[in-house]
């Protein structure tokens, strides 16, 4: 391989090229005509979009010759001084500065002090090359990508349950064939409208569509049933539906016995999610829960699809697992027209996570920590497996380490605008400022590029070749329709050039087809096996579904795999794994200062951080300003009218929006779109302090927010005053790896604090088997970094009937305390059990139906 293998210029003259939309994971086919005149496009009759395009796709060609396109590298006028202006420079000067910074940083702080951050919009070849560049040319463990903020929870759940993560394990056409589709936290009518033709087709046949979303979105309005839970309670809802399925004998016991493991534990776990309790937790009425689960269970073909609304939480992986548990219990995965899937968001969100751009992965969805995987991939790369770094930090952890001891000091960012798209964005902006050196490759001067030492102009989608993998797992061709402007390079070329300057050029190519062939070899035998896919096959077959392993000479070639799991799952024993999961409260709950729930998401005419779509004149006409949605009751209460300027404030920041007053949202929830930066950055508000333990997903979808009216309708939204913004939270101390040395000294720093859940409360009986929360005061969360133990329970009962008080830990019953009629009890809790930081302890009560009275409760705990 060599850096000289760069594709040559296209022939002159006007020509038409079949390619795909640059934006979302539907990857609609389009025909682009370009050459001697400005590029124009029309939709193609590709099997996914079937001649449909949304407004984003239609407008995509507008940006190719946009006046703000970056056409030359930019560097700081004074090297090292980011307050000096960015000025144009030659590629040689810009790359020299990048390579010097890499050398300086690695010499002073070690290899891992240089980091890489990628994006879900990179082609498979670019994502693969970026991962290889980090591990081979830089030999750093510090690489991750923005898909961590998108698909990682669903990916974590799918890997755990099925042994394989392909967003939709069936083609999109199965959606049209399904008799019931449950969409959880997904709004394709706004985010990918051409996909709605499959839903429309199903509805025309009489299919029932159930949408689970706190907002009555365009998708929800078309559905037969809309469940509107409080954000962050989707897991409780899924467990509740499984509870009903079990109680009503709807579980497919034969399927469960033949194709799964672990159901007994899940069966026991969902016993605590009886419909009334689930209604209290989620706000979804019992009859709607029953209607949804009966429809799902009785349908000949049924599909459950989750998306970011369910997954972007501190318990996102468990939430996706809860819906997988339900689908498995009803026997759906692996049957045509049935199953569980997740709706991928970013254009190459699927391929971007398969080829080594993630902190812990190698190509083919192999694990970097697996010695056999390291040996295989190192063999393809021509390096020693021992030279490959170990897994590094996940996306937010990497960003939060910038500029710290042991963290990243020099960062290379490709195709990602983290200053807008990362959670707690003001903290991320502050971290970017702490870097010694930042290099960004992009088409426009994004909010992240504005902060860089060096900005490198990159080719846009229509100017480069490669492959993308759409939301179905279909590998498709992005074809070059025109040459990039003079002075602009694509990211494959950039990485090959940089590798050359770092002494590893002989291992890298800038030719996409050459890189794809190598990617195929590196993925061979892995979970995401692309080794049997070629550019020619993709052209001939309108995309090829992975896994598609290469076959030997004379053997019939593998057809690709449109539908997975028909015979077995990708686990060692071929069975899908149930896993018991429990509802946990959002990390941040509304309180007196921040009384509402903020949830964030996308709108029809914008895409991701808006670097491209905010510059499109036609999209600007549809969505010119960011609009925060408020229910009319909330707006009235706060004196807010339509289009007024409102300020949303959380513990992390303030941001301003136009008010969209709509009864499509719950009165206790506010929605803000995340496509804008600056004074309207929704991510300046979001919470990154509690990451999902498996996927490291931040809580984009729930935090506590306050809302105030700033003024009446105004064309421009003024930014919040800087003086009023909270200071970004300081760097977190990295955990030390040194072993703790035991000491014989007595310490005065250990403090124990008594805690009590106590008081007199009214009780209304709903049945002894139906306990429920008594009062919010009877709830205690063990603070982070502390632990607690329960010491005793005392209780009194004023009613003439036996009542029970139930000690609940993290939603799971721990201990029952019966209290006789007009009697009392005292129970020492001698079992020493540590309740670790974050554990939620509650007291619930149950009384016979119709019984009214009071209970006295007193739970004593000690917090250490």
Nearer to ligand SF4, 179 or 463 (CB): 463
In the complex, minimum distance from the CB of residue 154 to ligand SF4, in angstroms, rounded to a whole number: 18
Among 3, 17, 19, 28, the residue binding ligand SF4 under the rule CB under 6 A is 28
Nearer to ligand SF4, 26 or 295 (CB): 26
Among 21, 220, 517, 851, the residue binding ligand SF4 under the rule CB under 6 A is 21
In the complex, minimum distance from the CB of residue 26 to ligand SF4, in angstroms, rounded to a whole number: 4
In the complex, minimum distance from the CB of residue 29 to ligand SF4, in angstroms, rounded to a whole number: 9
Nearest to 599 by CA among 669, 542, 688: 669
Nearer to ligand SF4, 341 or 364 (CB): 341
- 56 near ligand SF4, rule: CB under 6 A: yes
Nearest to 634 by CA among 595, 674, 591: 595
Nearer to ligand SF4, 1 or 54 (CB): 54
Q: Is 254 helix (H, G, I), strand (E, B) or coil?
A: helix
Phi, psi of 707 (to 5 degrees): -130, 130
- 26 near ligand SF4, rule: CB under 6 A: yes
Q: Is 765 helix (H, G, I), strand (E, B) or coil?
A: coil
3-state secondary structure 422-438: CCCHHHHHHHHHCCCEE
User: Site for ligand SF4 (CB under 6 A): how many residues?
Assistant: 14
In the complex, minimum distance from the CB of residue 472 to ligand SF4, in angstroms, rounded to a whole number: 13
Among 1, 53, 646, 803, the residue binding ligand SF4 under the rule CB under 6 A is 53
Between 193 and 232, how does the x/- string for binding to ligand SF4 read (CB under 6 A)?
A: xx--------------------------------------
Question: What are the distances in angstroms from CA 115 to CA 133, 366, 437, 449, 825?
Answer: 11, 21, 10, 16, 60
Nearest to 158 by CA among 25, 23, 300, 354: 354
In the complex, minimum distance from the CB of residue 619 to ligand SF4, in angstroms, rounded to a whole number: 11
Among 1, 41, 46, 57, the residue binding ligand SF4 under the rule CB under 6 A is 57
State the burial class of residue 649 (Cβ atoms within 10 Å of its Cβ: 0-12, 13-18, 19+).
buried
Among 3, 27, 394, 609, the residue binding ligand SF4 under the rule CB under 6 A is 27
In the complex, minimum distance from the CB of residue 195 to ligand SF4, in angstroms, rounded to a whole number: 7
Residue nearest to ligand SF4 (CB): 57
- 121 near ligand SF4, rule: CB under 6 A: no
Q: Which among 25-33, 85-93, 170-178, 233-241 is the span making contact with ligand SF4, rule CB under 6 A?
A: 25-33
In the complex, minimum distance from the CB of residue 516 to ligand SF4, in angstroms, rounded to a whole number: 21
- Return the H-helix or E-strand segment holding 751: none
- 24 near ligand SF4, rule: CB under 6 A: yes
In the complex, minimum distance from the CB of residue 306 to ligand SF4, in angstroms, rounded to a whole number: 19
In the complex, minimum distance from the CB of residue 63 to ligand SF4, in angstroms, rounded to a whole number: 13
Q: Which among 49-57, 177-185, 237-245, 640-648 is the span making contact with ligand SF4, rule CB under 6 A?
A: 49-57
Q: In what order do the strands lie in the sheet with 143-145?
A: 86-88, 74-76, 454-457, 437-442, 410-414, 114-118, 143-145
- 143 near ligand SF4, rule: CB under 6 A: no
Contact yes or no for 545/474 (Cβ under 8 A): yes
In the complex, minimum distance from the CB of residue 623 to ligand SF4, in angstroms, rounded to a whole number: 13
Nearer to ligand SF4, 185 or 194 (CB): 194
Q: Which among 19-27, 263-271, 331-339, 802-810 is the span making contact with ligand SF4, rule CB under 6 A?
A: 19-27
Among 192, 492, 570, 586, the residue binding ligand SF4 under the rule CB under 6 A is 192
Q: Is 192 helix (H, G, I), strand (E, B) or coil?
A: coil
Nearer to ligand SF4, 289 or 612 (CB): 612
Measured from the Cβ of residue 413, the count of other Cβ atoms closer than 10 Å reads: 28
Q: Which among 20-28, 104-112, 136-144, 746-754 is the span making contact with ligand SF4, rule CB under 6 A?
A: 20-28
In the complex, minimum distance from the CB of residue 441 to ligand SF4, in angstroms, rounded to a whole number: 22
Nearer to ligand SF4, 23 or 437 (CB): 23
Q: DSSP labels for 255-278?
A: HHHHHEE-HHHHHHHGGG--HHHH
Contact yes or no for 555/565 (Cβ under 8 A): no
Nearer to ligand SF4, 57 or 171 (CB): 57
Nearer to ligand SF4, 275 or 349 (CB): 349
Q: 223-229 — which CB contacts under 8 Å span 24+ positions?
A: 223/183, 225/288, 225/291, 225/292, 225/295, 227/284, 227/288, 227/289, 227/292, 228/283, 228/284, 228/666, 229/282, 229/283, 229/284
Q: Which among 48-56, 427-435, 498-506, 716-724 is the span making contact with ligand SF4, rule CB under 6 A?
A: 48-56
Contacts to ligand SF4 from residues 77-96, by CB under 6 A: none
CA dist 561 and 579 (Å) reads: 26
Nearest to 180 by CA among 339, 40, 48, 2: 339
Q: Which among 24-32, 132-140, 217-225, 471-479 is the span making contact with ligand SF4, rule CB under 6 A?
A: 24-32
- 444 near ligand SF4, rule: CB under 6 A: no
Among 23, 365, 396, 674, the residue binding ligand SF4 under the rule CB under 6 A is 23
Residues across the chain = 864
Q: Is the dihedral of CA 394, 400, 405, 410 positive or negative?
A: positive
CA dist 347 and 20 (Å) reads: 10
Nearer to ligand SF4, 57 or 765 (CB): 57
- Return the H-helix or E-strand segment holding 861: strand 852-863
- 98 near ligand SF4, rule: CB under 6 A: no
Q: Which among 34-42, 192-200, 414-422, 457-465 is the span making contact with ligand SF4, rule CB under 6 A?
A: 192-200
CA dist 788 and 793 (Å) reads: 15
In the complex, minimum distance from the CB of residue 698 to ligand SF4, in angstroms, rounded to a whole number: 24
CA dist 234 and 309 (Å) reads: 9
Contact yes or no for 476/467 (Cβ under 8 A): yes
In the complex, minimum distance from the CB of residue 28 to ligand SF4, in angstroms, rounded to a whole number: 3
Q: What residues have CB less than 8 Å from 763, skipping those under 6 apart?
A: 774, 799, 803, 845, 847, 851, 852, 853, 854, 855
In the complex, minimum distance from the CB of residue 421 to ligand SF4, in angstroms, rounded to a whole number: 17
Q: Is the dihedral of CA 18, 23, 28, 30 positive or negative?
A: negative
Q: Is the dihedral of CA 527, 531, 533, 535 positive or negative?
A: positive
- 465 near ligand SF4, rule: CB under 6 A: no
CA dist 805 and 813 (Å) reads: 10
Q: Which among 23-31, 678-686, 772-780, 853-861 is the span making contact with ligand SF4, rule CB under 6 A?
A: 23-31
Measured from the Cβ of residue 430, the count of other Cβ atoms closer than 10 Å reads: 17
Nearer to ligand SF4, 24 or 782 (CB): 24
In the complex, minimum distance from the CB of residue 670 to ligand SF4, in angstroms, rounded to a whole number: 26
- 54 near ligand SF4, rule: CB under 6 A: yes
Q: Which among 10-18, 26-34, 286-294, 678-686 is the span making contact with ligand SF4, rule CB under 6 A?
A: 26-34
In the complex, minimum distance from the CB of residue 27 to ligand SF4, in angstroms, rounded to a whole number: 5
Nearer to ligand SF4, 56 or 308 (CB): 56
Alpha carbon dihedral 76, 78, 84, 89, in 10-degree steps, equals -30
Residues making contact with ligand SF4 (CB under 6 A) = 21, 23-24, 26-28, 49, 53-54, 56-57, 192-194
């Amino acid at each position: 391989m060599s850096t000289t293998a760069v594709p040559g210029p296209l022939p002159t003259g006007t020509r038409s090229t079949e390619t795909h939309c640059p934006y979302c994971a539907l990857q609609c086919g389009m025909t682009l005509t370009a050459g001697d005149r400005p590029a124009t496009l029309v939709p193609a009759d590709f099997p996914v979009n079937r001649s449909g395009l949304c407004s984003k796709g239609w407008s995509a060609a507008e940006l190719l010759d946009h006046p703000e396109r970056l056409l030359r590298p930019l560097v700081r006028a004074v090297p090292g001084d980011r307050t000096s202006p960015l000025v144009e420079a030659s590629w040689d000067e810009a790359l020299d500065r990048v390579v010097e910074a890499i050398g300086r940083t690695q010499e002073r702080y070690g290899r891992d002090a240089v980091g890489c951050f990628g994006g879900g919009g990179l082609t498979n070849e670019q994502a693969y090359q970026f991962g290889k560049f980090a591990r081979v040319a830089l030999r750093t463990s510090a690489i991750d990508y923005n898909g961590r903020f998108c698909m990682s929870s669903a990916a974590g759940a799918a890997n755990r349950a099925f042994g394989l993560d392909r967003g939709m394990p069936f083609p999109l056409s199965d959606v049209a064939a399904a008799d019931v589709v449950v969409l959880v936290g997904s709004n394709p009518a706004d985010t990918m409208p051409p996909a709605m033709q499959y839903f429309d087709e199903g509805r025309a046949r009489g299919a029932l569509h159930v949408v689970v979303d706190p907002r009555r979105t365009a998708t929800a309005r078309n559905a037969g049933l809309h469940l509107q839970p409080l954000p962050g309670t989707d897991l409780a809802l899924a467990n509740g539906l499984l509870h009903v399925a079990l109680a009503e004998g709807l579980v497919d016991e034969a399927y469960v016995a033949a194709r799964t493991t672990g159901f007994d534990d899940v069966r026991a776990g969902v016993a605590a999610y009886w419909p009334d309790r689930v209604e209290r937790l989620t706000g979804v009425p019992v009859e709607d829960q029953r209607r949804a689960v009966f429809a799902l269970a009785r349908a000949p073909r049924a599909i459950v699809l989750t998306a970011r609304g369910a997954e972007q939480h501190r318990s996102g992986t468990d939430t996706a697992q809860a819906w997988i548990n339900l689908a498995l219990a009803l026997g759906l995965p692996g049957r045509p027209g049935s199953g569980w899937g997740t709706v991928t968001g970013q254009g190459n969100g699927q391929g971007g996570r398969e080829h080594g751009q993630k902190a812990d992965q190698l190509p083919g969805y192999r694990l970097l920590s697996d010695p056999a995987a390291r040996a295989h991939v190192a063999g393809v790369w021509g390096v020693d497996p021992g030279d490959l770094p170990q897994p590094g930090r996940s996306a937010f952890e990497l960003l939060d380490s910038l500029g710290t001891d042991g963290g990243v000091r020099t960062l290379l960012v490709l195709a990602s605008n983290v200053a807008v798209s990362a959670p707690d964005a003001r903290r991320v902006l502050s971290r970017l400022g702490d870097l010694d050196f930042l290099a960004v490759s992009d088409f426009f001067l994004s909010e992240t590029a504005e902060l860089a030492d060096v900005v490198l102009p990159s080719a846009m989608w229509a100017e480069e070749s490669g492959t993308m993998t759409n939301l179905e797992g279909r590998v498709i061709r992005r074809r070059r329709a025109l040459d990039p402007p003079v002075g602009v390079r694509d990211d494959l070329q950039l990485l090959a050039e940089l590798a050359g300057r770092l002494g590893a050029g002989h291992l890298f190519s800038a030719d996409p087809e050459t890189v794809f062939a190598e990617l195929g070899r590196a993925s061979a035998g892995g979970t995401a096996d692309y080794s049997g896919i070629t550019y020619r096959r993709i052209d001939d077959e309108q995309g090829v579904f992975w896994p598609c392993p290469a076959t030997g000479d004379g053997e019939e070639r593998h057809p690709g795999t449109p539908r997975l799991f028909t015979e077995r799952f990708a686990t060692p024993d071929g069975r899908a794994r149930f896993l018991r999961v429990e509802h946990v409260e959002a990390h941040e709950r509304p309180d007196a200062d921040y009384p509402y729930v903020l949830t964030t998401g996308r709108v029809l005419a914008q895409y991701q951080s808006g670097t491209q779509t905010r510059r499109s004149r036609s999209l600007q006409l549809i969505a010119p300003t960011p609009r925060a949605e408020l229910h009319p009751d909330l707006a009235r209460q706060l004196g807010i009218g339509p289009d007024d300027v409102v300020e949303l404030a959380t513990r992390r920041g303030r941001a301003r929006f136009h008010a969209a007053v709509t009864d499509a949202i719950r009165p206790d929830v506010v929605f803000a779109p995340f496509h804008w930066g600056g004074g309207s950055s929704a991510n300046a508000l979001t919470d990154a302090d509690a990451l999902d333990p498996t996927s490291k997903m931040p809580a984009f979808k729930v935090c506590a927010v306050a809302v105030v009216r700033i003024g009446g309708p105004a064309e421009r939204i003024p930014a919040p005053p800087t003086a009023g913004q909270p200071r970004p939270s300081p760097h977190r101390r990295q955990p030390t790896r040194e072993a703790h040395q035991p000491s014989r000294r007595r310490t005065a720093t250990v403090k124990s604090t008594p805690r009590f859940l106590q008081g007199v409360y009214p009780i209304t009986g709903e049945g002894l088997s139906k306990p429920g929360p008594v009062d919010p005061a009877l709830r205690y969360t063990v603070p982070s970094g502390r632990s607690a133990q329960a010491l005793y329970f005392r209780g009194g009962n004023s009613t003439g009937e036996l009542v029970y008080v139930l000690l609940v830990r993290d939603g799971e019953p721990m201990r029952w305390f019966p209290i006789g009629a007009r009697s009392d009890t005292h129970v020492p809790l001698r079992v020493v059990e540590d309740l670790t930081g974050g554990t939620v302890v509650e007291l619930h009560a149950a009384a016979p139906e119709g019984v009214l009275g009071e209970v006295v409760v007193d739970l004593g705990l000690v917090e250490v």
